Structure 1
């Protein structure tokens, strides 16, 4: 349905974007990040080192990187809605596979599959959400930010469930937690499978444009540092809370605060995300993210950890949103899938290297504090670099 001026109208764009946000809810919020909640029990039960534990997020990131590399081709072949749905279904299947075996190779494959599926759901979903948001230009930044609240729902729901499942069933119950996450994801995916997403596709998927990395190289490096820096915090903070004496309630509260803070993202960063000034918006938000990651360095105080979770969470999801806004401001709609994919690839390389490097540092130093120091430093450096990214000048770019 079109308005008299020819602009595509979408029924309930906020509702459609919220439904789309279920893709990263499952693929990222649960598929990737719930691993942090079960990592301590898996490491103890399966006798893993920190390096082995970090490898599980590294292989997940490898899958995410592979999915991002393939995303543009898959989208052109199958379309945005199918890419989102099939990617999210693959992420659900990976959760069930994690529950079926303690074999390191099987679990590695499951984490790889989770990454591939999450990338398809995220890249396709972000491009589709950006398209839908354009139907309401005056609210486009707010609408787009709703998509990035999705992982927060996954983090919140898993944080309210996983620690208490593990406490109720005792040591070695990590596989029960994975079944619980599988059932949760099966419920969450239903609206995504049933919603009329096909009607929302306006990007010409047969059209391709060239993507030049050089004009945005400094921005890509900044996003790479974000990928490498954030993952240490999200992988090992539950272990840090537990090592400081935090039981299931403390772990649940900390993780839930990260998830809750995501719901404030659309309002907290609305004006910042509207800044069409190169990498400035990303620099501001990434700086706040670095502050949140640095706070645990100063101790295990519950108040300090709570503030850290809130600050990190509200900025973390907005950093990802700012990159989609950057692509939307600087590239034509036909270039959004490949632009978002390029950003995701840079991010994916960073988060591929981050967990295993940080795990090795922790094994060598014997303390997670060193890992958190490295994490915060990389985020801060990324913020500085993003500030130097200028707005692209090209006739084809549009922000309508």
Structure 2
């Protein structure tokens, strides 16, 4: 028997506030690194492998966070877990600004990843619960949560390139301070939001999760994790290598973020498809197309289309997995199921950056590595088409 769904007076507003958790943890905590990576690599004399390792260690933290998320949520409740994990992300951003020491920066990236995963799993389950209070609009409401990282990407894209341009080479640490202050402002509404008592106090029951029925889907999500992260890690370097200055880098990154705002409207009917992995196949296929476009050159128009196509699908792929969980599992199993999806995703994005960085170091050409990234996304899209509904 399913537990009754809590009633929320303003579900859209609450989910938008809740989306500030992935805004800070992912949109800023993870992805802003790509904006400062070229300056950090030059200033700190890093190879592409070292640069990729920073996102690998971040992804490793994300994986660990996903592994323990359901236990922490069971003990402390959804809302409490989301709030504290977001505060840890803010602290980690400040640590990133303090020192250029490789070990210190690695620890900060690890901590951001760990906290972001807990916030994402808890936030996703809480957003699904809030969305369920309006069944006729549930998929649209759920999409609002996954637009959160786009806000962080847009905000950091409008700030970081111009801070780097204004303060000159070696000013990467100033960018991290700017990102910290931005995150502090965004965390305040999350701390004050009136979430349901059950979500604050706990009431989450850990359930067993069978891998076999969704093994194909988990493999597809693994490939998405490995493929997307290479694009998001190295595309700013690709734009800069093609002669793009601060304005071009900001425009490219901001277009990815802007595309998140149309995601709920573009994909709401696709997300409602209760047909196994079909929704993920459609959305991931579009994501792969966006990732593949830079193969054809550095044209500003081509790169702009790539950013928009990649972005509008990128945020929806993650949303499609939560929609899959919501349509195939009872509410009490959502945190465990979302955590399982996040683990598969985390393993993929842990391996992706350092592998792509090593390929780039060996070949000396980012284009080849980005081709590998796009190929993994295509394979993930094909695989998810074979996922059927779970249960009777």
The separation in 2 between residues aligned to 1:52 and 1:204, in whole angstroms, is 40
Which position in structure 1 is the counterpart of 2:329? Answer: 331
The separation in 2 between residues aligned to 1:190 and 1:207, in whole angstroms, is 29
Aligned: 1:356 with 2:345: no
Among 146, 169, 173, the alignment partner of 2:167 is 169
The separation in 2 between residues aligned to 1:70 and 1:197, in whole angstroms, is 23
What is the DSSP-based 3-state SS (H/G/I as helix, E as strand, rest coil) of the residue aligned with 1:276? coil
- What is the CA-CA distance between 1:221 and the residue it aligns to? 0.2
Which position in structure 1 is the counterpart of 2:282? Answer: 284
Uncovered stretches (5+) of structure 2, i.e. residues with no partner: none
Which position in structure 2 is the counterpart of 1:398? Answer: none
Aligned: 1:59 with 2:53: no
What is the DSSP-based 3-state SS (H/G/I as helix, E as strand, rest coil) of the residue aligned with 1:264? helix
Q: Residues 246-257 of structure 1 correspond to what in structure 2 (within 5 A)?
A: 246-257=244-255
Aligned: 1:293 with 2:300: no
Aligned: 1:75 with 2:73: yes
Which position in structure 2 is the counterpart of 1:385? Answer: 383
The separation in 1 between residues aligned to 2:44 and 2:196, in whole angstroms, is 44
Uncovered stretches (5+) of structure 1, i.e. residues with no partner: 1-5, 395-400
For residues 286-343 of structure 1, the C-alpha deviation after alignment (integer angstroms, 9 at most, x for no partner) is: 0000000000000000000000000000000000000000000010000000000000
The separation in 2 between residues aligned to 1:70 and 1:198, in whole angstroms, is 23
What is the DSSP-based 3-state SS (H/G/I as helix, E as strand, rest coil) of the residue aligned with 1:269? helix
For residues 337-376 of structure 1, the C-alpha deviation after alignment (integer angstroms, 9 at most, x for no partner) is: 0000000000000000000000000000001001110000
8 A Cα contact 1:26 1:91, kept in partner? yes
Which position in structure 1 is the counterpart of 2:216? Answer: 218
Among 313, 316, 321, the alignment partner of 2:311 is 313
- What is the CA-CA distance between 1:207 and the residue it aligns to? 2.2
Aligned: 1:108 with 2:106: yes
Which position in structure 1 is the counterpart of 2:35? Answer: 37
What is the DSSP-based 3-state SS (H/G/I as helix, E as strand, rest coil) of the residue aligned with 2:386? coil
- What is the CA-CA distance between 1:11 and the residue it aligns to? 1.8
The separation in 2 between residues aligned to 1:356 and 1:338, in whole angstroms, is 28
8 A Cα contact 1:95 1:182, kept in partner? yes
What is the DSSP-based 3-state SS (H/G/I as helix, E as strand, rest coil) of the residue aligned with 2:46? coil
Aligned: 1:237 with 2:242: no
Change (3 A) 1:292 1:203: farther
> What is the aligned length?
389
What is the DSSP-based 3-state SS (H/G/I as helix, E as strand, rest coil) of the residue aligned with 1:263? helix
* Runs of 4+ residues over 4 Å off in structure 1: none
Change (3 A) 1:345 1:188: same
Among 9, 12, 18, the alignment partner of 2:10 is 12
The separation in 2 between residues aligned to 1:133 and 1:330, in whole angstroms, is 16
- What is the CA-CA distance between 1:167 and the residue it aligns to? 0.2
The separation in 2 between residues aligned to 1:237 and 1:136, in whole angstroms, is 39
For residues 168-201 of structure 1, the C-alpha deviation after alignment (integer angstroms, 9 at most, x for no partner) is: 0000000000000000000000000111124362
Normalised TM-score (structure 1):
0.96
8 A Cα contact 2:157 2:254, kept in partner? yes
Among 186, 189, 200, the alignment partner of 2:187 is 189
Normalised TM-score (structure 2):
0.98
The separation in 1 between residues aligned to 2:188 and 2:204, in whole angstroms, is 29
8 A Cα contact 2:76 2:202, kept in partner? no
> For the aligned residues, what is the CA RMSD?
1.2
